[in-house]
Amino acid sequence: MNSQHLKNTRRLLLIALVMVCFAAFGSQAQAQSKKKFKQKTKAKTTAVTTAKPGQVLICTSKTTKTYHKKKCAGLARCKTKTSSLALAVASKTRKPCKICYPKGKAKKK
């Protein structure tokens, strides 16, 4: 009778130990996944805010007719998605943004 009681106590202790282990592991895994998510979002923002060489950023809205060098105030006003486009393609249908391409620095024709 006494040994049976001891068995039960041991079993409860074991269950409690396992639960503590799971809780500790779970929170650790969660922290790691959060870290990964942070890194991912950071990489994504850098990809969107700066255009690759030979590429420009555009607002996909049909009403905008400008292209941008970087994520400037003009592009921040874009309510739709922003995407990158080759400069040669963008310059055919769009004009350079006045903020990204100040008149003084523009090449004279």
| Min CB(35)–Zn ion separation in Å | 33
Burial 8-38 (b: 16+ CB within 10 A, else e): eeeeeeeeeeeeeeeeeeeeeeeeeeeeeee
The separation between CA 50 and the C-alpha centre of its own chain, rounded to angstroms, equals: 13
Write out the residues near Zn ion by the rule CB under 5 A: 68, 72, 74, 97, 99-100
Find all residues with CB under 8 Å of 70, minimum gap 6, and list them.
Answer: 49, 50, 51, 57, 100
Least separation in angstroms between residue 108's CB and Zn ion is 21
Q: Which is nearer to Zn ion, 9 or 80 (CB)?
A: 80
- Nearer to Zn ion (CB atom), residue 15 or residue 76: 76
**Which residue's Cβ has the minimum distance to Zn ion?**
97
Give me the least distance between CB of 25 and Zn ion, in Å please.
48
Nearer to Zn ion, 85 or 99 (CB): 99
Q: Which is nearer to Zn ion, 4 or 53 (CB)?
A: 53
Provide, rounded to whole angstroms, the least separation between the CB of residue 76 and Zn ion: 9
